[in-house]
């Protein structure tokens, strides 16, 4: 009886322990469901997360030709619209003419001129080619010397020590001089009028460049290695230039110089290469010298010019008014650059008034004015140049 009562007590105790546990589990499950529901609602309420987009440049749409056509089409459309608007504005504006205006527009009025225009006489300026047609006398001073012997009108040949040909002279005056390499250096041939023409070539086997072209009629040219003119002379005078083509000096021959020559002539010596040289001592003393491996030759191509009326020949001028105005503009530009440089280095305006013109610009200004007076420029041109270089900046 006691055992039965004890077992019943244990079962009752176990039932009393399990019931509270089941309720707590069920309560926890309910709370969890509520928490999940609240979390889901919060997720729905919250705004979606911003998505980043790519800002990298994308490939161009269509080909380059298509884009060009589209631009041209848009430009034509814009021009057509502008023309349409202009035409619309013109059609709206109706011109108002009175009867007198209408008669005036239908009548052609004219009147015979009373003042007869005077034909301005063009001042004749003689050039080198025009002087040839006048009463002048030109005498060629041609001569040939080879190995200390004056060559005459006969066949003559000379060779170098190693056997190659040095010189060949023909009865008609044609002469050939060769470099030690065998290439032709100088050729002298008769010209069409009178006298001879000499051509100096560089020492190359094919397509040699012309180093000098001298004619006994009074016109000659020598060239720098870069092809620019070195010395140019004619029957009136000549000029000397540097390798860049800038004129260094110019002169008149004493035979063609008037009472106020452009500049006195000074002898010119040129070395065209290691073998050929040019000597210009006077108009009638121009010679080509050749020296190689102990062999020497000289060809004279001078000219004697006699002018019966030397006062009719104008002074040879190589600078015109435009050249002098350009030089004055250059001086003014350099003055401006000097002033700008000073303003940058010294920003204070009180210092600007103390700036002085550089000494080299003052010297250039004096030389330019002297050149204007010596070249016989007109007074108005000289006044303009003086105003330009003396203008306050």
- Per-residue model confidence as pLDDT tens digits over 302-344: 887 766 665 555 544 456 677 788 888 888 888 888 888 877 7
Residues 6 or more apart in contact with residue 366 via CB below 8 angstroms:
none
Domain boundaries, the chain: 128-312, 321-389
Q: What does DSSP say about strands 196-201 and 184-190: parallel, antiparallel, or unpaired?
A: antiparallel
- Token pair 């009562």 is found at 5
Q: What is the token pair recorded at 85?
A: 């608007």
Those residues of the chain that have pLDDT short of 70 are 1-23, 46-51, 58-61, 86-87, 89-149, 151, 193, 255-265, 306-320, 348-354, 375-376, 393
Nearest alpha-carbon partner for 177 in 165, 169, 167: 167
Reported pTM: 0.48
Q: Which pLDDT score is estimated for 110?
A: 47
**How far, in whole angstroms, is CA 350 from its chain's centroid?**
40
The full 3-state SS of the chain, as one line of letters, equals CHHHHHHHHHHHHHHHHHHHHHHHHHHHHHHHHHHHHHHHHHHHHCCCCCCCCCCCCCCCCCCHHHHHHHHHHHHHHHHHHHHHHHHHHHHHCCCCCCHHHHHHHCCCCCCCCCCCCCCCCCCCCCCHHHHHCCCEEEEEEEEEEECCEECCCCCEEEECCCCCEEEEECCCCCEEEECCCCCEEEEEEECCCCCEEEEEECCCCCCCCEEEEEECCCCEEEECCCCCEEEEECCCEEEEECCCCCEEEEEECCCCCCCCCCCCCCCEEEECCCCEEEEEEECCEEEEEEEECCEEEEEEEEEEEEECCHHHCCCCCCCCHHHHHHHHHHHHHHHHHHHHHHHHHCCCHHHHCCCCCCHHHHHHHHHHHHHHHHCCCCHHHHHHHHHHHCCCC
**C-alpha span between 89 and 73 (Å, rounded):** 25
Q: What is the token pair recorded at 243?
A: 């390798």
Q: What is the token pair recorded at 197?
A: 């023409």
- Token pair 């108009």 is found at 283
Please, are residues 387 and 328 in contact by the beta-carbon 8 Å criterion? no
Q: Which pLDDT score is estimated for 247?
A: 84
**C-alpha span between 165 and 156 (Å, rounded):** 11
Q: Which pLDDT score is estimated for 276?
A: 94
Tell me how crowded residue 389 is: count the other CB atoms within 10 A of its CB: 22
Report the length, in residues, of the chain.
393
Ramachandran class of 384: left when φ > 0, alpha when ψ lies in -120 to 50, beta otherwise: alpha
Q: Which pLDDT score is estimated for 125?
A: 44
**C-alpha span between 341 and 349 (Å, rounded):** 13
**How far, in whole angstroms, is CA 104 from its chain's centroid?**
55
- Token pair 């459309």 is found at 77
């Amino acid at each position: 009886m006691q055992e039965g009562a004890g077992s019943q007590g244990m079962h009752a105790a176990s039932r009393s322990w399990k019931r509270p546990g089941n309720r707590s589990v069920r309560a926890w499950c309910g709370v969890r469901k509520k928490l999940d529901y609240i979390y889901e609602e919060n997720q729905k309420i919250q705004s979606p997360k911003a998505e980043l987009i790519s800002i990298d440049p994308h490939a161009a749409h269509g080909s380059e030709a298509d884009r060009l056509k589209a631009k041209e089409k848009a430009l034509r459309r814009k021009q057509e619209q502008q023309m349409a608007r202009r035409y619309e504005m013109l059609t709206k504006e109706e011109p108002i003419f009175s009867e007198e205006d209408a008669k005036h527009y239908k009548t052609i009025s004219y009147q015979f001129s009373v003042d007869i225009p005077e034909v301005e006489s063009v001042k004749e300026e003689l050039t080198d080619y025009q002087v040839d047609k006048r009463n002048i006398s030109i005498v060629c001073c041609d001569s040939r010397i080879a190995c200390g012997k004056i060559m005459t009108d006969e066949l003559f040949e000379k060779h170098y020590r190693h056997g190659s040909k040095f010189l060949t002279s023909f009865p008609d005056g044609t002469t050939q001089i060769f470099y030690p390499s065998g290439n032709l250096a100088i050729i002298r041939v008769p010209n069409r009028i009178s006298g001879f023409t000499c051509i100096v070539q560089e020492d190359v086997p094919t397509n040699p460049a012309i180093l000098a072209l001298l004619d006994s009629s009074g016109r000659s040219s020598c060239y720098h290695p870069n092809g620019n003119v070195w010395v140019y002379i004619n029957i009136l005078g000549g000029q000397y230039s540097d390798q860049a083509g800038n004129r260094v000096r110019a002169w008149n021959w004493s035979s063609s110089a008037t009472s106020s020559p452009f500049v006195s002539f000074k002898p010119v010596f040129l070395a065209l290469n290691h073998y050929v040289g040019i000597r210009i001592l006077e108009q009638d003393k121009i010679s080509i010298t050749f020296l190689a491996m102990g062999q020497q030759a000289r060809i004279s191509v001078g000219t004697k010019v006699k002018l019966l009326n030397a006062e009719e020949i104008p002074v040879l001028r190589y600078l015109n008014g435009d050249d002098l105005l350009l030089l004055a503009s250059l001086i003014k530009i350099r003055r401006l650059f000097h002033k700008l440089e000073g303003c940058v280095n010294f920003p204070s305006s009180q210092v600007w008034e103390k700036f002085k013109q550089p000494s080299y610009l003052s010297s250039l200004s004096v030389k330019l004015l002297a050149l204007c007076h010596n070249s016989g420029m007109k007074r108005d041109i000289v006044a303009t140049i003086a105003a330009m270089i003396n203008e306050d900046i």
